[in-house]
């Protein structure tokens, strides 16, 4: 592969990843307003409490997993 093909592939990957992140942030914003959806994030509640974050931040960890 030459440098042009690699650059195009990297740009496409970055655009897809950015789109995914924006979709997750939009859904997380909706989840912060709906308490029923926040029940899905029970796995990450200890992590959120340990980090002293608001409860709705648990939804942000859900699609990406724990690093």
pLDDT of 20-38, one tens digit each? 888 878 877 777 777 777 6
* Helices within 1-67 (DSSP H only): 3-33, 35-38, 45-50, 58-61
Domain that holds residue 50: 23-67
Does 41 fall in a domain?
A: yes
Cβ burial 5-34 (10 Å sphere, 16+ → b, else e): eeeeeeeeeeeeeeeeeeebeeebeebbee
Q: Do the domain assignments include residue 8?
A: no
Is 45 a member of any domain? yes
Q: How confident is the model at residue 13 (pLDDT cuts 50, 70, 90)?
A: very high
Within a domain: 53: yes
Q: Is residue 10 part of a domain?
A: no
Domain-embedded: residue 9: no
Q: How many domains does the chain have?
A: 1
Q: What average pLDDT does this structure show over 48-65?
A: 76
> What does pTM read for this prediction?
0.57
């Amino acid at each position: 592969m030459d440098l042009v093909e690699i650059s195009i592939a990297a740009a496409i990957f970055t655009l897809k990843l950015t789109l995914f992140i924006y979709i997750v942030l939009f859904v997380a914003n909706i989840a912060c307003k709906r308490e029923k959806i926040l029940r899905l994030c029970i796995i990450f509640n200890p992590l959120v409490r340990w980090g002293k974050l608001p409860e709705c931040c648990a939804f942000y960890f859900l699609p990406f997993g724990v690093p």
